[in-house]
């Protein structure tokens, strides 16, 4: 025994201890009595009182609930709410014996969220010549489906839930002969945006004029019946104030039908009476004997060198006597590399885009260089129009 316990004795003592612990736990479990329900300390009605749907409200929603919220911005209005649109337009119509040049500028305000595209209904048998907008989406091209013109835009955020977008549309009308009747083309935004947005108000001002009185305009339609109000003085927007504007109207709805009779302007000549100058007797000067100058010997001065060479005077370049001004020369890559000239009429302000071989006002475009174009009239005379561009002339 002095040597201590061997291996077999140690394992025996451990087994006895484990057996005693299991017997003790079994005795405590059998001796435990089940709990007997007692009298509640709170009345039963107060325990049952509460929201019967509290369990559904406290339950954690499924994952699909969060995935469905991907198109909704929690800081702004719900995207299911339609866009509300307010449209203000300023329109300028310039008429000449060749036709009408119309420019429409639409100022669109929208809330509570921006619209991805703006739609306009054009008059029948009309095609938009060009569309301009700083907020236009360059990744998507604008197009026309029948009478509906679709312009993809990215409106600018003015403040929270308030956006703004400006779009300019150009229309051109050609007159076959004069006199003729011309109906003012009306473009509507609300009639085309009913399925996309809710246009609450659409109004504006339009001016009809003719540069240098080249044609005469006579209104035929009753403006009171068309609910058009005449504007003048300070009530005209600055963009429409021109000495060539003959008529300016304000419309509350773009459903007006205004017709003008267009005929060639009659130049007024002023006849003045000839001035009668009184007859005056000629003055007779007294006879004076000629004076004989004294003979003076020639003076011998120092030798004079050769005369200086005269300065070379270079005449200025000839001026442009045509009614057009060269604004820009555009390099076009598709579908093939070529150049296009952009001309501006000096009187009406109308822009023209012409390629080599096109005609404008009986003039044929024969050549386009880096900074000039060459036009040939019906008699074969060549006219050269030069332009000054910042990228080629840096002074």
Per-domain residue ranges for the chain? 83-264, 324-386
Q: Given this model, what pLDDT does residue 14 score?
A: 93
What mean pLDDT comes out for the span 300-305? 62
Do 174 and 129 meet the contact criterion of CB atoms below 8 Å apart? no
Least confident range of 120-124, 192-196, 320-324, 377-381: 320-324
Under the phi-then-psi rule, with left for phi > 0, alpha for psi from -120 to 50, and beta for the rest, what region is 382?
beta
Which residue from 390, 395, 69, 91 is spatially nearest to 239, judged by alpha carbons? 91
Q: How many CB atoms lie within 10 A of CB 90?
A: 19
What mean pLDDT comes out for the span 184-207? 91
Q: Given this model, what pLDDT does residue 386 score?
A: 85
Candidates 1.10.1660, 1.10.286, 2.40.10, 2.60.40; CATH matching 83-264: 2.60.40
How far is 151 from 144, CA to CA, in rounded Å?
A: 9
Strands 197-209 and 83-96: parallel
How far is 354 from 224, CA to CA, in rounded Å?
A: 42
Checking if the pLDDT of 295 tops 50, the result is: yes
* 309 vs 93, more confident: 93
How far is 216 from 95, CA to CA, in rounded Å?
A: 9
Out of 80-84, 117-121, 290-294, 355-359, give the one with best mean pLDDT. 117-121
What mean pLDDT comes out for the span 121-125? 93
Least confident range of 43-57, 229-243, 253-267: 43-57
Q: What tens digit of pLDDT does each residue of 316-364 get?
A: 555 567 888 888 888 888 778 888 888 888 887 788 888 888 888 788 8
Q: Which fold has domain 324-386?
A: SH3 type barrels. (2.30.30)
pTM higher than 0.75: no
Q: Given this model, what pLDDT does residue 105 score?
A: 96
How far is 180 from 262, CA to CA, in rounded Å?
A: 5
Checking if the pLDDT of 39 tops 60, the result is: yes
What mean pLDDT comes out for the span 300-324? 64
Checking if the pLDDT of 257 tops 80, the result is: yes
Burial zone of 228 (CB within 10 Å; 0-12 exposed, 13-18 middle, 19+ buried) = buried
> SS3 for 45?
helix
How far is 191 from 381, CA to CA, in rounded Å?
A: 51
Least confident range of 62-66, 119-123, 227-231: 62-66
Q: Given this model, what pLDDT does residue 270 score?
A: 38
Query: What is the tally of helices (H) and strands (E) in the chain?
Result: 4, 21
Q: Please give the structure tokens belonging to residue 255.
A: 């459903």
C-alpha torsion angle, residues 54, 55, 58, 64 (rounded to 10): -120
Q: Given this model, what pLDDT does residue 269 score?
A: 39
Helices (H), the chain: 7-31, 44-48, 54-58, 63-67
Q: Given this model, what pLDDT does residue 167 score?
A: 95
Least confident range of 18-22, 72-76, 306-310: 72-76
Q: Given this model, what pLDDT does residue 138 score?
A: 87
Which residue from 62, 79, 61 is spatially nearest to 70, judged by alpha carbons? 79
Start-to-end Cα distance in the chain: 119
Least confident range of 135-139, 141-145, 252-256, 344-348: 344-348
Q: Please give the structure tokens belonging to residue 362.
A: 């009986």
Q: Given this model, what pLDDT does residue 314 score?
A: 53
> SS3 for 75?
coil
* 294 vs 86, more confident: 86
Q: Please give the structure tokens belonging to residue 93.
A: 């119509």
Checking if the pLDDT of 130 tops 90, the result is: yes
Which residue from 201, 216, 203, 202 is spatially nearest to 247, judged by alpha carbons? 216
* 279 vs 141, more confident: 141
């Amino acid at each position: 025994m002095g040597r201590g316990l061997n291996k077999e004795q140690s394992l025996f003592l451990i087994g006895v201890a484990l057996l005693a612990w299991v017997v003790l736990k079994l005795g405590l479990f059998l001796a435990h009595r089940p709990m007997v329900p007692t009298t509640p300390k709170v009345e039963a009605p107060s325990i049952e009182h509460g929201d019967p749907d509290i369990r559904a409200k406290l339950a954690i929603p499924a994952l699909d609930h969060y995935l469905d919220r991907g198109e909704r911005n929690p800081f702004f209005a719900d995207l299911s709410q339609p866009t509300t649109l307010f449209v203000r337009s300023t329109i300028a119509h310039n008429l000449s014996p060749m036709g009408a040049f119309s420019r429409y500028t639409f100022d669109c305000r929208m809330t509570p969220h921006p619209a991805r595209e703006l739609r306009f209904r054009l008059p029948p048998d009309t095609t938009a010549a060009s569309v301009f907008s700083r907020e236009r989406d360059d990744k998507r091209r604008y197009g026309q489906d029948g009478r509906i013109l679709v312009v993809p835009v990215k409106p600018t955020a003015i403040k929270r839930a308030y956006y703004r977008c400006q779009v300019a549309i150009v229309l051109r009308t050609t007159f076959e002969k004069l006199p003729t009747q011309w109906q003012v083309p009306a473009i509507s935004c609300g009639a085309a945006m009913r399925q996309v947005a809710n246009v609450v108000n659409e109004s504006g001002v339009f001016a009809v004029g003719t540069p240098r009185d080249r044609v005469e305009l006579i209104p035929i339609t009753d403006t009171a019946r068309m609910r058009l109000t005449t504007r003048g003085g300070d009530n005209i927007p600055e963009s429409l104030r021109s000495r060539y504007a003959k008529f300016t109207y304000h419309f509350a709805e773009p459903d007006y039908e205004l017709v003008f009779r267009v005929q060639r302007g009659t130049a007024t000549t002023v006849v003045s009476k000839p001035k009668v100058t009184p007859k005056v007797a000629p003055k007779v000067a007294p006879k004076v004997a000629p004076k004989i100058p004294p003979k003076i010997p020639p003076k011998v001065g120092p030798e004079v060198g050769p005369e200086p060479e005269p300065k070379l005077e270079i005449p200025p370049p000839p001026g442009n006597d045509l009614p057009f001004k060269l604004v820009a020369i555009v390099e076009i890559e598709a579908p093939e590399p070529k150049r296009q000239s952009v001309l501006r009429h000096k009187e009406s302000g109308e822009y023209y885009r012409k390629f080599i071989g096109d005609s404008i006002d009986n003039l044929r475009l024969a050549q386009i260089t880096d900074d000039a174009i060459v036009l040939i009239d019906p008699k074969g005379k060549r006219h050269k129009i030069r332009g000054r561009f910042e990228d080629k002339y840096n002074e």
